[in-house]
Chains A and B, each alone.
Chain A
Amino acid sequence: MHIVVCIKQVPETGNVRINPETHTLMREGVTAIVNPFDMFAIEEGLRLKAKLGGRVTVITMGPPQADAAVREALAMGADDAVLISDPAFAGSDSWATSYTLAKAVQKFGDVGLVLCGKQATDGDTAQVGPGIAAHLDLPQITYVRKIDAIDETRITAQRLLENGIETVESALPCVLTVIKEINEPRLPSLKGKMAAKKAVIPVWTAADLACDPHHIGLEGSPTRVAAVFPPPTRQGGEMLTGEPETVVPQLIEKLREALLQASR
């Protein structure tokens, strides 16, 4: 089976800050990583390949430096990688991103399964996976914690809902979004790292994907970011000191109001 894994390069969360004067993102010195959820998607792709045969292709849409993300996936054992990159893709929201990724999946022509992470830690939208499914008119199983069974035509998987676990069966091709519970991603082997370093990564542009120019990048994005600003700072840090027997009653006194509300 041909399995496509969509991965995104994201800034490491701890480092992103807003410049308080200019209200723009400060990107200097921010390390880029593969979106943590996408590591589980890569790992699951590799495990399914081991079971079913076929190949795993990793795709990412992003600027040229996103190349580093797909090399990491190659080092883990992915067979192929494609970087989807074009200045015309800049400013894509989740609508335009899922359109572009759907075009790439379509271009392969033989994809049996599309794997995504549950969400990307920069935008935190969880929209791109279902968006790809919608663009391709494919079924989807989101929040997948375990794949129970899979063959060339069908998949049965468990998804984690707020109030329990749902088992869903779907025809293939299908789009899955996966959560952390599904597996433990492997570390890249030395041999994998060497091969990944040397790999030539094809770049697909808007023209290669036959994208409608009105549906990509900023123009193709129905949403616009009108403003970015720092979150309200938590004023806090009142320390209560003393022995438990004195501190706890102090705390309860402070919480009385909130407790009454919470246990309405």
Chain B
Amino acid sequence: MSDPIQINSDTCVRCGACVPVCPYSAMTQAEGAVPTIDLKTCALCGACVSACPPQAIAIEPARKNEALDSFKNVWVFAEWSGSEFQGVTFELLGKARTLASDLGQKVVAILFGAGVANRAQELIAAGADEVIVADHPALAVFQDEIYAQELRQLCGAHKPAIVLFGATTLGRSLASRVAVPLYAGLTADCTGLEICPATRQLLQTRPAFGGNVMATVITPGARPQMATVRPRVMKALPADPARTGQVVLAQVAAEVLKAKARRLAFAPDTGTKINLGDAEIIIAGGRGMQKPEHFALLEELAGVLGAAVGASRAAVDANWIAYPHQVGQTGKTVCPKIYFAFGISGQIQHLAGMMSADIIIAVNKDPDAPIFKTATYGIVGDLFQILPVMTREFRKALGK
């Protein structure tokens, strides 16, 4: 049988453009010769095909799948803030364990940072069999280009079958930049991941159209299968400090560190103690709050419950609270255990951001407010009478 990928020596101009773009280093070229392809490492991804100016390289589409089985293991990109791991990292490791055992493969965590190698054990305790650490001063904070180049390089060298990221600002900025040069499939914001028993492909389920529709996405003919996963949906495993695993230090090549953008400054958000995305409980207010001062009432209840404060767009547009607190289609998508909606009518654009909370509690004076159709528990009444009682009673109930 002919090779699944071929270079036409009549049209090849020997320019060598295909050699550096190959993510898998499968191409070599002797001075002035037609490049050669190592079929054992070639992933039939197509990077060379589009890089070739005279279009002299062709892949037989029907045989694209031949190289897929050489991709192995489930990778989790560990999101390290400089001082701690994002919670979603542990959730991903928990999920990756299930996927890897269904495949009979390993869970590999990828850790970038400066002086982070000693944190690898935490990832092993959470389910990783192996941790690949790129420890370098230039990786101290997230930088889109450098992180993407290093991760692309690691994927090219190790050929993972699956790569998971948290659907955070960092994960969403990074994943696409890695998937593009690898010709990999990428599914955003997944809420369900499973291995199809028949095809061994990753079934990636996610909401679309503001949560009105669910879709299951597959990557049939390309690897890795990459996905960003919504925080707080998957379950982390209880940490097992006795678990053992391998820690591998990765090289960080000078090439990788070239970047045209760089961080100048970072101003941590000191006002909010708990970030919306991480919050187990969210206390949100809408136009019914009437005045910016009244948000202090929500803050108070939030303090009692260890909750974060959210808001509808109406409240943000009125400048009662800052935009980072906005929940909904043009704000944040959140998934807490409990979501309190005070004086929020429940328009679809707001629901799109909080519909997947475990429990929704709505307080609204209008018995016909649409929020009551979505709420687990609804209370019809004046929030200004109910809220203080709630704060008092919760304080009592929690012994605070």
Tell me the minimal C-beta distance from A10 to chain B in angstroms.
Answer: 9
Contact B216 A248 (CB under 8 A): no
Contact B398 A169 (CB under 8 A): no
Contact B212 A13 (CB under 8 A): yes
State the CA gap A231–B214 with chains docked (Å): 6
Residues 389-400 of chain B, each 1 if its beta carbon lies under 8 Å from chain A, else 0: 110011001100
Contact A222 B306 (CB under 8 A): no
Kindly state the interface size class of chain A when it binds its partner: 35 or more
State the CA gap A241–B380 with chains docked (Å): 7
> Is there a chain B Cβ closer than 8 Å to A90's Cβ?
no
> Is there a chain B Cβ closer than 8 Å to A62's Cβ?
no
Stretch in B120-128, B240-248, B265-273, B284-292 touching the partner: B265-273
Contact A223 B173 (CB under 8 A): no
> Is there a chain B Cβ closer than 8 Å to A162's Cβ?
yes
Contact A156 B264 (CB under 8 A): yes
Tell me the minimal C-beta distance from B354 to chain A in angstroms.
Answer: 11
Stretch in A46-54, A66-74, A119-127, A192-200 touching the partner: A119-127
Contact B348 A251 (CB under 8 A): no
Contact A259 B398 (CB under 8 A): yes
State the CA gap A238–B349 with chains docked (Å): 23
> Is there a chain A Cβ closer than 8 Å to B352's Cβ?
yes
Kindly state the interface size class of chain B when it binds its partner: 35 or more
A258 is contacted by which of B265, B338, B374 (Cβ under 8 Å)?
A: B338
> Is there a chain A Cβ closer than 8 Å to B211's Cβ?
yes
Tell me the minimal C-beta distance from A167 to chain B in angstroms.
Answer: 4
Tell me the minimal C-beta distance from A182 to chain B in angstroms.
Answer: 10
Give residues 76-98 of A contacting B (CB, 8 Å): 93-95, 98
State the CA gap A174–B259 with chains docked (Å): 12
Task: Knowing A134-B148, A162-B277, A166-B265, say if A247 contacts B381 (CB, 8 Å).
Answer: yes
A residues near B213, Cβ cutoff 8 Å? 16-18, 25, 228-231
Contact A215 B170 (CB under 8 A): no
> Is there a chain B Cβ closer than 8 Å to A110's Cβ?
no
> Is there a chain A Cβ closer than 8 Å to B361's Cβ?
yes
> Is there a chain A Cβ closer than 8 Å to B372's Cβ?
yes
Task: Knowing A231-B207, A240-B377, A258-B358, say if A162 contacts B169 (CB, 8 Å).
Answer: yes
Give residues 142-195 of B contacting A (CB, 8 Å): 144-145, 148, 168-170, 172-181, 183-189
> Is there a chain A Cβ closer than 8 Å to B275's Cβ?
yes
> Is there a chain A Cβ closer than 8 Å to B280's Cβ?
yes
Task: Knowing A18-B213, A121-B329, say if A167 contacts B264 (CB, 8 Å).
Answer: yes
* Closest chain A residue, CB of each to CB of B276: A162
Task: Knowing A166-B266, A255-B338, say if A127 contacts B176 (CB, 8 Å).
Answer: yes
Contact B394 A36 (CB under 8 A): no
Stretch in B29-37, B89-97, B131-139, B219-227 touching the partner: B219-227
Contact B176 A131 (CB under 8 A): yes
Contact A95 B207 (CB under 8 A): no
* Closest chain B residue, CB of each to CB of A239: B378
A residues near B108, Cβ cutoff 8 Å? none
Stretch in A1-9, A135-143, A201-209 touching the partner: A135-143
Tell me the minimal C-beta distance from B211 to chain A in angstroms.
Answer: 6
Q: Which of B175, B263, B379 has the most CB of A within 10 A?
A: B379
Contact A160 B219 (CB under 8 A): no
Contact B177 A238 (CB under 8 A): no
Contact B264 A222 (CB under 8 A): no
Contact A222 B183 (CB under 8 A): yes
State the CA gap A174–B144 with chains docked (Å): 12
Contact B281 A171 (CB under 8 A): no
State the CA gap A228–B208 with chains docked (Å): 9
B residues near A109, Cβ cutoff 8 Å? none
> In the complex, given contacts A13-B329, A168-B264, A236-B373, what are 19 additional A-B residue pairs having Cβ atoms less than 8 angstroms apart?
A25-B213, A37-B330, A93-B185, A124-B208, A124-B210, A127-B172, A130-B144, A134-B148, A145-B323, A162-B278, A164-B269, A165-B266, A165-B267, A170-B261, A174-B260, A180-B326, A215-B46, A234-B355, A244-B385
Q: Could you list some 14 contacts between A and B, CB below 8 A?
A: A25-B209, A95-B183, A124-B208, A130-B175, A134-B181, A162-B277, A163-B81, A167-B266, A169-B262, A170-B260, A180-B323, A180-B326, A212-B55, A228-B208
Binding site for B on A (CB under 8 A): 11, 13-14, 16-18, 25, 36-37, 93-95, 98-99, 121-131, 133-135, 138-143, 145, 156, 159-171, 174, 179-181, 212, 214-215, 219, 221-231, 234, 236-241, 244-245, 247-249, 251-252, 254-256, 258-259, 261-263
Closest 8 CB pairs of A and B: A222-B185, A170-B261, A134-B180, A125-B188, A13-B210, A139-B261, A222-B222, A130-B176
Binding site for A on B (CB under 8 A): 46, 49-50, 55, 59, 61, 81, 144-145, 148, 168-170, 172-181, 183-189, 203, 207-222, 259-269, 275, 277-278, 280-281, 305-306, 323-324, 326, 329-331, 336-338, 347-349, 352, 355, 358-361, 372-381, 385-386, 389-390, 393-394, 397-398
